[in-house]
């Protein structure tokens, strides 16, 4: 592939692939394409390190996508899940193995971009897309400072508000016009707020804490970070939060004083959006276009986990490009089939779980009180031991088809792990 002439006219440089956005999705794609020897350009409007509203919790299954040396990025390790409901005593389930790694996105994303750089890809930071068009089977992108690139493959990794999609809506593709209409509807994304807090005393637990009573139709989290810091946040999945910052502040108020020291805000708060996959129909509309990570609505609607899916979708897009170098159409169609049949199907099970658990959090909490092993629902998904499909089957069979009084007797949580 890299045998194509480098320059097609004075201004436009021909490359094997263009990547817009270098968060976990784009940086992973850039690194993998670079390692395969392709000539790639990746650009991001930010300079790194940059902030990103995010809990920074990386499930342990996601670490398989990280480049060598990731364990040297400052982080903490969570081995258990702490479930909170109202004023009831919390329930803890410890897996005894790492289920999540807690990073600061500034460190993680800068590391990913740095690793991609070392594979030889061209990287433009602090650069905005000025113009993007798809004509005669090729993408032509112009960015600051007055540079143009042309390629048959374009990877959109520019997050939930994807400017690539906005530019391409003007192409002839009816499918993309449809997306533009969808995006005007309020339910295509969930607002989520997060902030970092600091306590003078060391954190009592490094577990993932999930509070089911703090957010109607969703949950609040607390992830223990280094040096006594915690990332706390809120998201509503059954209906978008109208005032996420207010919900976040109320959640912060529930944090107890410890030895006379109250948790104080250390960074943030920030509010950003989580895409709703079920509203997203953008894949496979333009030959050679790959929507990965948040730009392709790759966030699970139960936990809101997106970093894993960002890197997973990047890796899949790259393998499709490598497999179908001569046919951008086949490459993006095959990627699109994988998204709908595999990822979005899995998300549909996650959504079923969300609609039961977040609608009846009290019932779920009682179940967990009785059988703390049920908390392995979080843990075994995060370690990759289980998927949402198998869980929603077990939970669905036992929880939905039975009257609630019978649930505790008939459910066999020992079978879940």
Ligand X SMILES: Cc1cc2nc3c(=O)[nH]c(=O)nc-3n(C[C@H](O)[C@H](O)[C@H](O)COP(=O)(O)OP(=O)(O)OC[C@H]3O[C@@H](n4cnc5c(N)ncnc54)[C@H](O)[C@@H]3O)c2cc1C
Q: Would you tell me which residues interact with ligand X (CB under 6 A)?
A: 20-26, 43-46, 52-57, 128-129, 157-159, 163, 192, 194, 233, 272, 274, 293-295, 299, 304-308, 310
State which residue, 299 or 331, has the beta carbon closest to ligand X.
299
For residue 32, the minimal CB distance to ligand X (Å) is 14
- DSSP three-state, residue 317: helix
State which residue, 150 or 294, has the beta carbon closest to ligand X.
294
- DSSP three-state, residue 327: coil
State which residue, 190 or 364, has the beta carbon closest to ligand X.
190
For residue 271, the minimal CB distance to ligand X (Å) is 7
Residue 20: how many other CB atoms lie within 10 Å:
28
State which residue, 142 or 163, has the beta carbon closest to ligand X.
163
DSSP letter, residue 207? S
DSSP letter string, 94-154: E-SS--EEE--HHHHHHHHHHHHHTTT-EEEES--EEEEEEETTEEEEEETTTEEEEES-E
Q: Which residue is nearest to ligand X (CB)?
A: 306
H/E element holding 30? Answer: helix 24-35
State which residue, 194 or 320, has the beta carbon closest to ligand X.
194
Omega before residue 121 within 30° of 0, cis: no
Gap between the terminal Cα atoms of the chain: 46
For residue 24, the minimal CB distance to ligand X (Å) is 4
Token digits of residue 231: 């990332």
Contacts of 161 (CB under 8 A, 6+ apart): 273
Q: Give the orientation angle of helix 307-323 with respect to helix 24-35, to 10 degrees.
A: 30
For residue 401, the minimal CB distance to ligand X (Å) is 32
- The span from the CA of 394 to the CA of 92, in Å, is 21
- The span from the CA of 56 to the CA of 77, in Å, is 12
For residue 3, the minimal CB distance to ligand X (Å) is 28
State which residue, 63 or 373, has the beta carbon closest to ligand X.
63
For residue 43, the minimal CB distance to ligand X (Å) is 5
State which residue, 147 or 366, has the beta carbon closest to ligand X.
147
State which residue, 150 or 158, has the beta carbon closest to ligand X.
158
Token digits of residue 339: 């998204």
State which residue, 106 or 370, has the beta carbon closest to ligand X.
106
For residue 320, the minimal CB distance to ligand X (Å) is 17
For residue 194, the minimal CB distance to ligand X (Å) is 4
For residue 319, the minimal CB distance to ligand X (Å) is 18
Residue 218: closest CA among 194, 243, 235: 235
- The span from the CA of 176 to the CA of 156, in Å, is 14
Cα 191–Cα 92–Cα 365 angle in degrees, nearest 5: 60
DSSP letter, residue 411? -
């Amino acid at each position: 592939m890299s045998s194509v002439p480098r320059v097609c006219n004075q201004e436009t440089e021909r490359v094997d692939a263009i990547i817009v956005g270098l968060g976990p999705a784009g940086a992973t794609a850039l690194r993998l394409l670079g390692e395969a020897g392709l000539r790639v350009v990746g650009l991001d409007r930010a300079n790194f390190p940059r902030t990103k509203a995010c809990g920074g919790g990386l499930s342990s299954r996601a670490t398989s996508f990280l480049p060598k040396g990731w364990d040297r990025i400052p982080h903490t390790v969570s081995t258990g899940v702490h479930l909170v409901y109202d004023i009831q005593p919390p329930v803890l389930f410890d897996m005894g193995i790492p289920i999540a790694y807690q990073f600061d996105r500034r460190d993680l994303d800068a590391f990913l971009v740095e690793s991609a750089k070392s594979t030889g890809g061209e990287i433009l930071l602090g650069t905005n897309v000025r113009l993007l068009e798809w004509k005669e089977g090729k993408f032509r992108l112009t960015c600051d400072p007055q540079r143009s690139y042309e390629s048959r493959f374009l990877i959109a990794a520019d997050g939930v508000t994807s400017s690539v999609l906005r530019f391409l809506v003007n192409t002839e593709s009816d499918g993309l016009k449809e997306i533009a209409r969808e995006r005007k509807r309020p339910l295509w994304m969930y607002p989520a707020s997060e902030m970092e807090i600091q306590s003078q005393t060391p954190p009592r637990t490094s577990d993932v804490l999930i509070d089911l009573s703090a957010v109607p139709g969703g949950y609040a989290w607390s992830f223990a970070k280094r040096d006594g810091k915690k990332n706390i946040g809120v998201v509503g999945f059954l209906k978008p939060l109208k005032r996420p910052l207010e919900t976040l502040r109320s959640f912060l108020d529930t944090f107890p004083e410890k030895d006379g020291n109250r948790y104080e805000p250390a960074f943030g708060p920030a509010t950003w959006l989580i895409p709703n996959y079920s509203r997203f129909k953008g894949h496979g509309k333009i030959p050679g276009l790959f929507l990965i990570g948040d730009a392709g609505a790759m966030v699970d609607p139960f936990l809101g986990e997106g970093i894993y899916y960002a890197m997973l979708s990047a890796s899949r897009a790259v393998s499709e490009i490598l497999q179908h170098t001569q046919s951008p159409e086949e490459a993006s169609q095959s990627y699109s089939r994988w998204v709908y049949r595999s990822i979005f199907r899995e998300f549909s099970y996650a959504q079923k779980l969300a609609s039961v658990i977040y609608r009846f959090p009290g019932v779920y909490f009682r179940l967990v009180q009785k059988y703390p092993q049920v908390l392995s629902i979080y843990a075994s998904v995060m370690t990759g031991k289980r998927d949402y499909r198998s869980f929603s089957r077990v939970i669905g069979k036992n929880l939905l088809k039975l009257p609630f009084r019978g649930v505790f007797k008939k459910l066999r949580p020992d079978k879940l792990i």
